[in-house]
Amino acid sequence: MKRKTIGLFLVLALVLSSFSFAFADQSYTVQPNDVLWKIAKKFDTTYQQLAEYNGIKNPNLIFPNQIIKIPDKSPAKPSEPVTGLPVADTVLKNGTVYTIDAANTVAQAVAIKGNEIIFVGGNADVDSYVGSSTKVVDLNGKVVMPGMIDSHVHRSGSALTELYDIYLYEDIDKESTLKTIKEFVDANPDLEVYWGAGFS
């Protein structure tokens, strides 16, 4: 009877340990040259979620052999779009989406309807906006970011410098600078004035 009881306890312990293993958090050991956003992408999450889940204050500071716990994924979404959500014209997914918001959020997917962005977030959640007419674009990790306006640029000056002036940006000493100037003067002997840029 005693042996049966011990055997039963051993079986029960094995079963319980297998259950606890099955429901335990997934983890990842940081390798040299790893960065948190790449690890997040590997596990279909965001670096912000990994940082918060692991108590990492600076997502740029992770170390080889550090154990990163991966949070459980939410239950699978239904294949049909959720009632009440608009169907997007275009969905971009599997990307690196720089939102440039106050929290510097990096997302994976974007849903667009007409001229409006209706969703920015994870790959799993964007599927709720996909309908039969939606064009789905797989970005394969490419970067998406808001359009930028450069308010201070010297297009014409840069073009004139490279095309018509003595280009001295690549010369780092006196000898190479004088050599470049001489070559330009020899090639353009009819100029009245010689302009150069880049020497410092």
Rounded Cα distance, 136 and 156, in Å: 40
Classify 178 as helix, strand or coil. Answer: helix
Task: Please calculate the CA angle 78-82-88 and round it to the nearest 5 degrees.
Answer: 110
Rounded Cα distance, 15 and 118, in Å: 46
Rounded Cα distance, 36 and 39, in Å: 5
Tell me the pLDDT tens digit for each residue of 20-57: 444 446 889 999 888 888 898 888 888 888 888 888 88
Choose among 156, 172, 152: nearest CA to 164.
Answer: 156
Between 156 and 51, the higher pLDDT residue: 51
Question: Any idea what DSSP says for residue 1?
Answer: -
122: left (phi over 0), alpha (psi -120 to 50) or beta: beta
Burial of 46 (0-12, 13-18, 19+ CB in 10 A): buried
pTM for the predicted model, two decimal places: 0.40
| pLDDT tier for residue 200 given thresholds of 50, 70 and 90 | low
- pLDDT for residue 15 is more than 60: no
Choose among 190, 96, 179: nearest CA to 141.
Answer: 96
Tell me the pLDDT tens digit for each residue of 79-113: 445 557 899 999 999 999 998 888 888 999 999 99
Q: List, in order of start, the domains of the chain with CATH numbers.
A: 2-70 (3.10.350.10), 90-144 (2.30.40.10), 155-197 (no CATH)
Classify 85 as helix, strand or coil. Answer: coil
Outline where DSSP puts E strands in 1-78: 26-29, 67-70
Q: From the CB of residue 67, how many other CB atoms can be counted at a distance below 10 Å? A: 9
